Amino acid sequence: MPLSATELINNFAMYFDGTDMSNASLYLCIDAALGDSGAQSIIEAMRADGLWSDDAAKIVPAEHKPMYVEQMKFIGYVSGKVDGKAFHASAYDHEKFPYNAGRWQEWQGFIAANY
């Protein structure tokens, strides 16, 4: 069953690149099964492909998630697996942090090719 925008926000740790604005409103959605080490390995692979800055990833704080649900326009998501454990990449749009459609396509292609 497909995940909704709200489920992705509320049920996953949302990692984002706070430095590279071409990644604005793009998130890696990671659950406890994959954890931070799994997230970091995906981010490292994305860095190697030029899809994530060298700065440390940030995580959306729990107290900000209600605002995300209210203010973010859902674009879509894709899923991948690491060692049989699923993760998702999601795209949203926000007037202050507009997503880059070309970069989102690159993320989708990267995940399809590698996970």
Report the run of H or E that residue 77 belongs to, with start and end.
Answer: strand 73-82
Quote the distance between the C-alpha of residue 78 and its chain's center.
Answer: 9
Provide the residue-wise pLDDT of the chain in tens; the chain has 115 residues.
799 999 999 999 999 999 999 999 999 999 999 999 999 999 999 999 999 999 999 999 999 999 999 999 999 999 999 999 999 999 999 999 999 999 999 999 999 999 9
Would you state the pLDDT for residue 45?
A: 98
- Copy the structure tokens of residue 11: 């049920």
Given a contact cutoff of 8 angstroms between Cβ atoms, the answer to whether 38 and 85 are in contact is yes
Would you state the pLDDT for residue 1?
A: 75
Would you state the pLDDT for residue 105?
A: 98
0.85 surpassed by pTM: yes
Domain regions of the chain by residue span = 5-114
Would you state the pLDDT for residue 70?
A: 95
Report the run of H or E that residue 93 belongs to, with start and end.
Answer: strand 85-93
Would you state the pLDDT for residue 35?
A: 96
Name the maximum alpha-carbon separation found in the chain. 36
